[in-house]
């Protein structure tokens, strides 16, 4: 048997201590401490406040959803499912020739419909699609009435375009014009419609119902018709026909036989000149046959021929006339006037001289 020495025992104990140290280190590894500080715990009062806030938010969310749903349900039960709001009376007020039956058909409205279900904007737009209609007002009156107020276009003249076959007093091919130049058909050819003046033009695109005429001559002619009626209705001058000669001038024929040529772009000045001429003609007792107020200076005028007095018991002699048989040659010189003349008198003097 080998005898153990101190040296061998020392080596043995050194290895034993080495492994023992490792084992001790492994055991201490289970106990680790974080350097980060632990979060502070909330106090009971703060926790209660947070819970109350969450409850309030949930209640607000529930109310925001339930209140609109409840209101919608109540609105439907009160108005849409209530027989008291069924349409019983349809009142239509119009100032033209459109019938109540036709307006009700176009609006798609009939008794028995729920008044609250009707779309007033849609009804208004459907009626305004008619070329004869200018404006529509739709209102409901609870519990069972619907009001339709229709303003129709007021016809001012007939349109005549011979190259296109558009002629007046024709319900199929003819067109009426309002003061703004909108085109629409005649639905009732009565005496009032037949008495309207005619605007004739030879240069116009194919007209269509519901559109607006873009011709400046036609537009000026419509304004002339309205202004002429305002100015000369007391003198018995009524426009019978207006012809657009070209892009610069229009010729108006009155029922008295007077023919007046106006400028397209300065017809207001022409109306002033014509009013001045007519007032002086009443003082002189003579009758105008034609005048061209498209000219600003030296306005040419012609006078109607006066028939000579017939001898007693004999037939009236023929009236002296020129080649046309209705127009006198030229106006005589104007009578002498006062030394001091205004600009208006000077202008009138040049007109009567036939300058």
The beta strands (E) that lie in the chain are given as: 89-94, 133-141, 145-152, 157-160, 175-177, 183-184, 198-200, 239-244, 249-254, 259-263, 288-292, 301-303
Please check whether residue 178 is in contact with residue 156, taking contact to mean a CB–CB distance below 8 angstroms: yes
Tokens of 292: 């061209």
State how far the Cα of 167 lies from the Cα of 169, in Å rounded to an integer.
Answer: 7
| pLDDT value of position 286 | 82
The CB-based long-range contact list for 128-136 (8 Å cut-off, 24+ gap) reads: 130/98, 130/106, 131/182, 131/183, 131/184, 131/185, 131/209, 131/210, 132/96, 132/97, 132/98, 132/184, 132/185, 132/187, 133/98, 134/178
What is the CATH T-level fold of the domain 83-152, as seen in this structure?
Answer: Ubiquitin-like (UB roll) (3.10.20)
- CB neighbour class for 113 (10 Å; exposed up to 12, middle 13-18, buried from 19): middle
Question: Is 0.85 surpassed by the pTM of this model?
Answer: no
| pLDDT value of position 163 | 93
Q: What is the 8-class DSSP label of residue 114?
A: B
Q: What is the 8-class DSSP label of residue 161?
A: B
| Pick from 172, 167, 160: nearest CA to 202 | 160
**Helix, strand, coil percentages, rounded to 5, for the chain:** 40, 20, 45
Extents of the domains making up the chain: 83-152, 157-305+319-352
Tokens of 294: 């498209």
Radius of gyration of the chain (CA): 49
| pLDDT value of position 283 | 82
Task: Give 10-residue mean pLDDT values along the chain (355 residues).
Answer: 55 56 50 54 75 81 73 55 75 88 87 84 92 92 88 95 94 94 93 94 92 93 93 87 92 93 93 90 85 88 64 40 34 39 56 51
């Amino acid at each position: 048997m080998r005898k153990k020495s101190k040296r061998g025992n020392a080596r043995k104990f050194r290895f034993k201590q080495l492994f023992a140290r490792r084992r001790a280190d492994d055991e201490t590894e289970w106990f680790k401490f974080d350097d980060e500080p632990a979060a502070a715990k909330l106090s009971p009062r703060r926790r209660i406040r947070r819970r109350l806030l969450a409850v309030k938010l949930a209640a607000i969310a529930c109310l925001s959803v339930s209140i609109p749903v409840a209101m919608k349900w109540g609105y439907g039960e009160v108005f849409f499912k209530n027989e008291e709001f069924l349409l019983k009376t349809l009142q239509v007020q119009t100032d033209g020739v459109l019938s109540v039956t036709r307006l009700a058909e176009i609006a798609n409205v009939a008794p028995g419909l729920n008044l609250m279900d009707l779309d007033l904007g849609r009804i208004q737009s459907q009626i305004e699609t008619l070329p004869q209609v200018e404006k529509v007002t739709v209102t409901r009156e609870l519990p069972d009435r619907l009001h339709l107020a229709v303003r129709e276009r007021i016809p001012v003249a007939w349109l005549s375009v011979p190259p296109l076959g558009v002629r007046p007093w024709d319900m199929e091919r003819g067109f009426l014009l309002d003061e703004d130049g909108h085109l629409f058909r005649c639905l009732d050819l009565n005496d009032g419609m037949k008495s309207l003046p005619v605007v004739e033009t030879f240069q116009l695109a194919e007209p269509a119902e519901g559109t607006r005429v873009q011709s400046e001559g036609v537009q000026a002619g419509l304004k002339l018709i309205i202004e002429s009626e305002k100015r000369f209705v007391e003198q018995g001058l009524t426009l019978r026909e207006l012809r657009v000669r070209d892009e610069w001038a229009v010729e108006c024929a009155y029922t008295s036989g007077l023919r007046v040529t106006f400028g397209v772009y300065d017809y207001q000045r022409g109306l002033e000149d014509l009013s001045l001429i007519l007032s002086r003609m009443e003082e002189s007792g003579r009758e105008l046959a034609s005048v061209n107020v498209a000219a600003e200076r030296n306005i040419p005028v012609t006078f109607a021929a006066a028939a000579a007095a017939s001898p007693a018991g004999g037939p009236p002699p023929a009236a002296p006339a020129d080649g046309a048989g209705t127009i006198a040659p030229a106006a005589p010189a104007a009578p002498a006037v006062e030394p001091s003349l205004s600009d208006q008198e000077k202008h009138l003097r040049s007109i009567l001289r036939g300058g």
